[in-house]
Amino acid sequence: MTSRRAFVSGALATGAAAMLPRCVFADVATDSRFVLVILRGALDGLAAVPAYGDGSYAAKRGALAITAPQLKLDGMFALHPSFNQLHERFAAKELIVFHAVASPYRKRSHFDGQDLLENGTSTPKSAHDGWLNRTLPLLPEAKRRATDRIALALAQNVPLVLRGDARVGSWAPSRLPETDADTLQRIADLYSTDDYFASRLQAALAADQVADEGAGEGMSAGRRDPLNGLNTLAAAAGKFLAAADGPRIAVLEASGWDTHANQGAERGQLANRLRGLDQALDSLRTSLGTAWARSAVLVVTEFGRTVAVNGTAGTDHGTATCAFLAGGAVAGGRVVTDWPGLANSALYEGRDLRPTTDLRSILKGVLAAHLGAGEGGLDEQVFPGSRAARPVEGLVKS
């Protein structure tokens, strides 16, 4: 694992240093870590967080209802039985569960829904960059070092939420042998007149160097993971973020939540995936080590699913869903919701959980209080035209 590192330090020594983002080893004023986990495919919020205390819940959910939950949160809500670790976080007051949450998107296309979830506007495809990328220049941390040292996508390709003008890093475990240092040097020379390729290669090598230094054993690709390696990536993210001069922001993603058929209740395919998510979040916590105390991990999805079961023991595309905010920095142990209820008259378009909290209010609350992003920038640059969506206050410990 030393060849590539040797190349990077070699490049530094031979005058390419100016091209590489500089490491800052001390004087890190903002110590907060933020991880965004995007669940693609529309997580069923009523399965992840059953509203077992709602008078309409059991009848509406039919075979998918979990009527006697073990992992209760209060008299109304519980966590799905797969969420053992998350429930412990809740007991330790390190988890906030949000419910009846939605982005401004009100139709039911996955692809537009995800686009809007990530671009931070109120119209799909109206921006080619993501809200987290637009947040980066607003952070106090951005005055101290280059943005691609601050934010990292744990993926080969950067998801939309983190794409944009501010450079960011990306990293995923490789099963390919490393290219030797001499060849890499020659490729870097070949790219030197082409900024598109040059900037990407530099960012990749920088991320790889951090992985070499910080990670050690835990970064090999996991093959038996129900969420396509989310657990491995979460553990890696924790190690990246734990380093004193490591990134402060990471984005993870996992697909497979589109449960149109045979969704299952206490057990079944969705239960297995939720267990995978529970494990991955716990791996993230473990590998963050002492940095967990300064961390906030936000789990979001593009929209929810129908309240009623469909004809194939699953659920179709819906509207509001749940979200999670976990971490040592989180003022947790609470369910935050303006619960609309599940009675017919309360449903959105007669079929979906009605949204009562704008997801952007949660995002703004985290970005402002936890990462120190200025509120003016959040209302305009980051989430254009969102002034009406006031940040949820008090999400992190003061």
Partner 1 sequence: MTLDAVVAANRFGLGARPGELDRARGDARAWLQQQLVGTRPVPQEIGRLPASATIFETYSELRRDRKEAKADSAAAKRLLGALRQKLAPYYLDQVAARYRVAVGTQESFRERLVHFWTNHFAVSADKPQVLALAGTLENEAIRPHLAGRFADMLVAVETHPAMILYLDNQASIGPDSQFAQRRNRRAPAGDRKLGINENLAREILELHTLGVDGGYTQQDVTTFAKALTGWSLGIDRPFAGGEPGKFAFHDAAHEPGAKTILGTRYGQSGVEQARAVLADLARHPATAQHLALKLARHFIADEPPADAVERIGKAFRDSDGDLPTVHRAVLETPAAWASPAVKFKTPHDLVVSTLRMLDFVPAEPRQIAAPFELLGQRPYAPGSPAGWPDTATQWDGSDALLKRIEWASSVAGRLAGRDQPLNLGERSLGATLNERTRVAITRAASTEQGITLLLASPEFQRR
Q: Which residues in this chain contact partner 1 in the complex, by CB under 8 A?
A: 40-41, 62-63, 107-112, 124, 128, 153, 155-158, 160, 163, 169-172, 174-180, 182-184, 186-187, 189-191, 193-194, 196-197, 199-205, 207-208, 255-256, 258, 260-261, 309-314, 316-317, 349
Distance (Å) of CA 215 to CA 4, 171, 238: 15, 12, 9
Using CA atoms, how far apart are residues 367 and 377, in angstroms rounded to an integer?
A: 11
- State which residue, 248 or 317, has the beta carbon closest to partner 1: 317
Q: How far is the CB of 279 from partner 1 (least distance, A)?
A: 20
**Pick from 269, 271, 257, 270: which is nearest to 300 by CA?**
257
Q: Which pair of structure tokens corresponds to residue 17?
A: 């240093």
- State which residue, 94 or 258, has the beta carbon closest to partner 1: 258
Quote the radius of gyration of the chain (alpha carbons, Å): 21
Using CA atoms, how far apart are residues 328 and 223, in angstroms rounded to an integer?
A: 30
Q: Which pair of structure tokens corresponds to residue 258?
A: 């589109």
Amino acid at 70: Q
**Pick from 257, 243, 255: which is nearest to 209 by CA?**
243
Q: How far is the CB of 320 from partner 1 (least distance, A)?
A: 15
**Pick from 21, 283, 213: which is nearest to 136 by CA?**
21
DSSP string, 53-75: TSTTHHHHHGGG---S-SEESSS
- State the residue for tokens 């598109």: 196
- State which residue, 17 or 190, has the beta carbon closest to partner 1: 190
Q: How far is the CB of 333 from partner 1 (least distance, A)?
A: 36
- How buried is residue 66: exposed, middle or buried, by Cβ count under 10 Å (0-12/13-18/19+)? buried
In this structure, are residues 259 and 44 in contact, taking their beta carbons and an 8 Å threshold?
yes
Q: Which pair of structure tokens corresponds to residue 244?
A: 């004193």
Q: Quick one: the chain helix, strand, coil %, rounded to 5?
A: 40, 15, 45
- State which residue, 164 or 365, has the beta carbon closest to partner 1: 164
Q: How far is the CB of 309 from partner 1 (least distance, A)?
A: 6
- State which residue, 29 or 68, has the beta carbon closest to partner 1: 68
Q: How far is the CB of 331 from partner 1 (least distance, A)?
A: 34
Q: How far is the CB of 264 from partner 1 (least distance, A)?
A: 13
- State which residue, 31 or 183, has the beta carbon closest to partner 1: 183
In this structure, are residues 77 and 50 in contact, taking their beta carbons and an 8 Å threshold?
yes
Q: How far is the CB of 169 from partner 1 (least distance, A)?
A: 6
In this structure, are residues 273 and 221 in contact, taking their beta carbons and an 8 Å threshold?
no
- State which residue, 193 or 345, has the beta carbon closest to partner 1: 193
Q: How far is the CB of 99 from partner 1 (least distance, A)?
A: 23
- State which residue, 214 or 365, has the beta carbon closest to partner 1: 214
Q: How far is the CB of 236 from partner 1 (least distance, A)?
A: 12
- State which residue, 276 or 314, has the beta carbon closest to partner 1: 314
